[in-house]
Amino acid sequence: MFVDTAKIRIRAGKGGDGAVSFHREKYVAAGGPDGGDGGRGGNVLFQADSNVNTLADFRYKKRYFAGDGAPGTGKRCSGKKGEDLLVRVPPGTLVKEESTGRILADLSDSEPQILARGGSGGWGNAHFATPTRQIPRFSKPGLAGEEFVVTLELKLLADVGLAGFPNVGKSTLLSRVSDAKPKIANYHFTTLTPMLGVVRVGEGSSFVMADIPGLIEGAAEGVGLGHEFLRHIERCRLIVHMIDVSGCEGRDPIEDFQTINRELAGYGDILSTLPQIVAANKCDIASEEDIRRLRDYVSGEGCAFHEISAATGQGLKELTGAVWQALSTLPPVRRYEPEPAPAVVRDVRAFEVRRGDGAYFVDAPWLTQVLGSVNMDDYESLQYFQRVLRESGIIDRLVEMGVQDGDTVCVEDWQFEYVS
């Protein structure tokens, strides 16, 4: 099954927590704090793999999580780094953030790319020892790793895209000029998925051609197979527009040319601006008048015109030579640059205090990290927590709202009685 889109969740590993530990050794008095740091969380990496040609696996497995870092231990030993997760995708896959649509990566080569970075490990209590605080009984927790819901979109890496109505001979052409073996039959929509073939034009010279399922009028609005496969032409450098010049399907070749170009333009500006070479197929059964009429019209539109017969091989060598010559003057296959995350200005000390059910509730997401480093059984650690509440303005806000001694204050999952 050919699948070219998918939506998955990726999450890098959480950093390990720092350790609270004190040195204990015979004949060593007051060894002091020796808690080690937590290990960094694992990263989520994506890599293009030529052995993978579909996104079908991502329809069944939706979550890809890297390993968490291990917590620190005594003797200043750091925790083990979380295990990285490598996700393999077909070459040409775009990874986009689902919420914003921004491009995170274009996997067009074999170089792995980090898309979600693991969180940093927390500091052990050895970092917090000072001349006035010689027995710190607290440490810092590890930070959470990056997490995204991403969409995967496969855009095949091909130099040339074959476009045209169904049953005009695109698959036959691809089978004659390359080693590809597409299904060929005398009915519409024989080709249901894009096919790739390598066309060799000489020693060390070749290009990749993509056979795209046939278009019909209204494809841009979803008629027939719709335009879902046109994304695979977006990277192409050139379009070979195949037309049945014989009219054996009961259509007018010039109207076919106009209709397909309207559908390409309806998909977007990218396809409508790509250079085209028109391949007039089935010339072996077409009249000279039909060929001349189409040639005059296409030439007037500024497109190169070639008479071919994919069934007999007529004109195929000249066509592939013209395609190769045109490619030599065109820029390389399109690459998409990752887009930076939008700058978000936020008050890191923002909070909200509300009153209800006989208690005061403090909503301050940034306090989660602070609470993770507080040991409620340690006096010095509690002093640090109280100092944060006061310096951030939370205490002043509680006083403004009329808090009294003995009232309950809820901060995240913690509850305590207010004491002035």
Pair 211, 174: CB distance under 8 Å: yes
Task: Give the distance from CA 23 to its chain's centroid.
Answer: 47
Q: Write the CB contacts of 289 (distance below 8 Å, at least 6 apart in sequence).
A: none
d(Cα 144, Cα 118) in Å, to the nearest integer? 7
Q: Write the CB contacts of 328 (distance below 8 Å, at least 6 apart in sequence).
A: none
d(Cα 128, Cα 363) in Å, to the nearest integer? 28
d(Cα 255, Cα 243) in Å, to the nearest integer? 10
Mean pLDDT across the chain:
86
* Rounded mean pLDDT, 351-375: 82
One-letter amino acid of 2:
F
* Rounded mean pLDDT, 361-367: 84
Q: Write the CB contacts of 278 (distance below 8 Å, at least 6 apart in sequence).
A: 240, 241, 243, 257, 294, 298, 303, 304, 305, 306
SS3 228: helix
Q: What is the pLDDT of residues 229-261, one digit of tens each?
A: 777 888 899 999 999 999 888 889 999 999 888
* Domain positions in the chain: 1-154, 160-327, 352-417
Task: Give the distance from CA 297 to its chain's centroid.
Answer: 42
d(Cα 416, Cα 420) in Å, to the nearest integer? 12
Q: Indicate if the pLDDT at residue 374 is higher than 90.
A: no
Confidence of residue 19 (pLDDT cuts 50, 70, 90): very high
Give the fold, CATH level 3, of 160-327: Rossmann fold (3.40.50)
Task: Give the predicted TM-score (pTM) of the model.
Answer: 0.77
Give the fold, CATH level 3, of 1-154: Spo0b-associated Gtp-binding Protein; Chain: A, (2.70.210)
Strands 359-363 and 408-411: parallel
One-letter amino acid of 69:
G
Q: Indicate if the pLDDT at residue 223 is higher than 60.
A: no
Q: Count CA atoms within 13 Å of residue 262 on its CB side.
A: 12
What is the predicted pLDDT for the residue at 266? 81
Task: Give the distance from CA 401 to its chain's centroid.
Answer: 47
Q: Write the CB contacts of 97 (distance below 8 Å, at least 6 apart in sequence).
A: 104, 148, 149, 150
Tell whether the torsion through CA atoms of 377, 381, 386 and 388 is positive or negative.
Answer: negative
Q: How many residues does the chain have?
A: 420
Q: Indicate if the pLDDT at residue 220 is higher than 50.
A: no
Confidence of residue 138 (pLDDT cuts 50, 70, 90): confident
What is the predicted pLDDT for the residue at 191? 57
Highest-confidence range of 3-7, 137-141, 276-280, by mean pLDDT?
276-280
Pair 249, 167: CB distance under 8 Å: yes
Q: What is the pLDDT of residues 380-394, one digit of tens each?
A: 777 878 888 888 888
Tell whether the torsion through CA atoms of 306, 309, 314 and 317 is positive or negative.
Answer: positive
239: phi then psi, degrees, rounded to nearest 5: -110, 130
d(Cα 192, Cα 214) in Å, to the nearest integer? 8
Whole-number percent of the chain with pLDDT over 70:
92
SS3 391: helix
* Rounded mean pLDDT, 43-51: 94
- Burial (CB < 10 A; 0-12, 13-18, 19+), residue 141, is buried
DSSP state of 317: H
CA angle, 294 then 298 then 299, to 5°: 115
Tell whether the torsion through CA atoms of 371, 377, 382 and 383 is positive or negative.
Answer: negative
* Rounded mean pLDDT, 329-357: 79
User: Considering only 113-122, 209-218, 352-361, which range has the smallest mean pLDDT?
Assistant: 209-218
Q: Could you check whether 1-154 and 352-417 share the same CATH topology?
A: no
For residue 300, count other CB atoms closer than 10 A to its CB.
Answer: 8
Sheet holding 195-202, edge to edge: 195-202, 205-211, 160-163, 238-244, 276-281, 304-307
* Rounded mean pLDDT, 178-195: 68
What is the predicted pLDDT for the residue at 196? 86
What is the predicted pLDDT for the residue at 413? 75
d(Cα 1, Cα 265) in Å, to the nearest integer? 29
What is the predicted pLDDT for the residue at 95? 96
C-alpha dist (Å) from residue 264 to 42, 122, 287: 43, 54, 28
d(Cα 268, Cα 148) in Å, to the nearest integer? 28
Q: Where are the alpha helices (DSSP H) in 80-209?
A: 170-177
- State the residue for tokens 């939008």: 342
Please give the CATH architecture assigned to the domain spanning 352-417. Answer: 2-Layer Sandwich (3.30)
Q: Which of 101, 123, 134 is closest to 336 using CA atoms?
A: 101
Q: Indicate if the pLDDT at residue 282 is higher than 50.
A: yes
